């Protein structure tokens, strides 16, 4: 049995960040798909906070994607995602924190703004990644979950423009760092946690074929925005990172 267990939502871009970290390391791990709402009770008991992702390593539980990534890179150092060189390490952690705190939440609010008002789309996007009874329960509870998710993440008409401004700032930060070249890594000559974080958290916007968000949602405005984003250097960079680096190491996980 795998030593590591990842408690997650299949669609969460923060959980995708940690799946990428674990897969890049070539680690075997078990996935536990938690139901929204119920997950808060389980995770608060384990780590004192209700969010996902949550990683359990034997009897040790770690919450928060940044803390998990640091733990995994320390416990399983090959290949390194956080450099040991002090300036490069500082640059990686600074970029990771920026995308974690500012861009990731904005992407979630903006994309969820399209999904939450559409009940059937919400049920498909949120629960098709679950099996059997969990999928049925999630779909049945969707009318209760939608307003709670909107409240929790601040998804409303007023937040849409603010979210897009934060996304645009993130894309510009990315392009400045890359000097407009989508072939570059953000820090140094190799993939780091900064690259994984930025690509994973921007993934719902670009919907790379290798990501959990590759489905066509049938929404004209979102589709048009995605096409525009894919044409700019930041969008090309996200697609390139997914194509070249997301499954560069074999994935070893089960449910």
Strand partners, 217: none
As a whole-number percent, the residues of the chain with pLDDT over 90 amount to: 85
Of 8-22, 47-61, 91-105, 141-155, the one with minimum mean pLDDT is: 47-61
Between CA 141 and CA 249 the distance in angstroms is 37
pLDDT band for position 248 (50/70/90)?
low
Residues 91, 187 contacting (CB under 8 angstroms): yes
CA nearest 234: which of 169, 197, 180, 163?
180
Positive or negative, the Cα torsion across 215, 122, 125, 11? Answer: positive
As a whole-number percent, the residues of the chain with pLDDT over 70 amount to: 94
- Alpha-carbon distances of 168 from 71, 102, 120, 176, 222, rounded to whole Å: 31, 11, 29, 12, 15
If you ran DSSP here, which 8-state letter would residue 131 be given? -
pLDDT of residue 50: 67
Task: Indicate whether 46 pLDDT > 90.
Answer: no
For residue 231 the two structure tokens come to 């044409």
pLDDT in tens, 224-239: 999 999 999 999 999 9
Q: Where are the beta strands (DSSP E) in the chain?
A: 4-8, 28-33, 54-57, 60-63, 252-254
pLDDT of residue 214: 78
Instruction: Identify the residue whose tokens are 């798909």.
Output: 33
Task: Indicate whether 249 pLDDT > 80.
Answer: no
pLDDT band for position 1 (50/70/90)?
low
Find all residues with CB under 8 Å of 37, minimum gap 6, and list them: 141, 144, 145, 148
pLDDT in tens, 70-113: 999 999 999 999 999 999 999 999 999 999 999 999 999 999 99
pLDDT of residue 251: 40
User: Could you tell me which residue, 214 or 31, shows the higher pLDDT?
Assistant: 31
Residues 242, 211 contacting (CB under 8 angstroms): yes
For the chain, the helix, strand and coil percentages under 3-state DSSP, each to the nearest 5: 60, 10, 30
Task: Indicate whether 134 pLDDT > 50.
Answer: yes
pLDDT of residue 253: 35
Between CA 194 and CA 97 the distance in angstroms is 9
Q: What structural domains and CATH numbers belong to the chain?
A: 4-79 (3.40.30.10), 86-116+155-246 (1.20.1050.10)
Mean pLDDT of 63-67: 95
pLDDT in tens, 166-188: 999 999 999 999 998 999 999 99
Biggest CA–CA distance in the chain, Å, is 51
If you ran DSSP here, which 8-state letter would residue 128 be given? T
Task: Indicate whether 45 pLDDT > 80.
Answer: no
pLDDT in tens, 15-27: 999 999 999 999 9
How many other C-beta atoms are found inside a 10 Å radius of the C-beta of residue 184? 16
Q: How many residues appear in the chain?
A: 255
Task: Indicate whether 220 pLDDT > 70.
Answer: yes
């Amino acid at each position: 049995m795998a030593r590591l267990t990842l408690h997650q939502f299949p669609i969460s871009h923060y959980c995708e960040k940690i799946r990428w970290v674990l897969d890049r390391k070539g680690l075997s791990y078990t996935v536990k798909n938690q139901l929204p709402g119920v997950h808060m009770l389980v995770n608060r008991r384990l780590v004192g906070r209700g969010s996902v992702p949550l990683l359990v390593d034997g009897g040790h539980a770690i919450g928060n994607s940044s803390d998990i990534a640091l733990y995994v890179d320390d416990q399983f150092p090959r290949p390194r995602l956080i450099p040991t060189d002090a300036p490069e390490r500082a640059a990686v952690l600074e970029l990771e924190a920026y995308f974690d705190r500012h861009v990731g939440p904005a992407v979630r609010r903006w994309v969820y703004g399209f999904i939450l008002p559409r009940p059937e789309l919400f049920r498909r996007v949120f629960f098709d990644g679950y099996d059997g009874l969990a999928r049925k329960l999630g779909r049945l509870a969707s009318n209760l979950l939608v307003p709670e998710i909107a409240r929790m993440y601040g998804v409303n008409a007023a937040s849409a423009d603010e979210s897009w401004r934060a996304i645009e700032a993130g894309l510009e930060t990315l392009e400045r760092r890359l000097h407009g070249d989508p072939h570059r890594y953000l820090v140094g000559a190799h993939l780091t946690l900064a690259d994984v974080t930025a690509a994973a958290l921007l993934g719902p916007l670009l919907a790379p074929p290798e990501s959990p968000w590759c489905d066509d949602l049938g929404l004209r405005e979102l589709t048009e925005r995605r096409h525009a984003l894919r044409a700019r250097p930041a969008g090309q960079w996200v697609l390139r990172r997914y194509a070249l680096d997301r499954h560069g190491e074999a994935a070893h996980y089960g449910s």
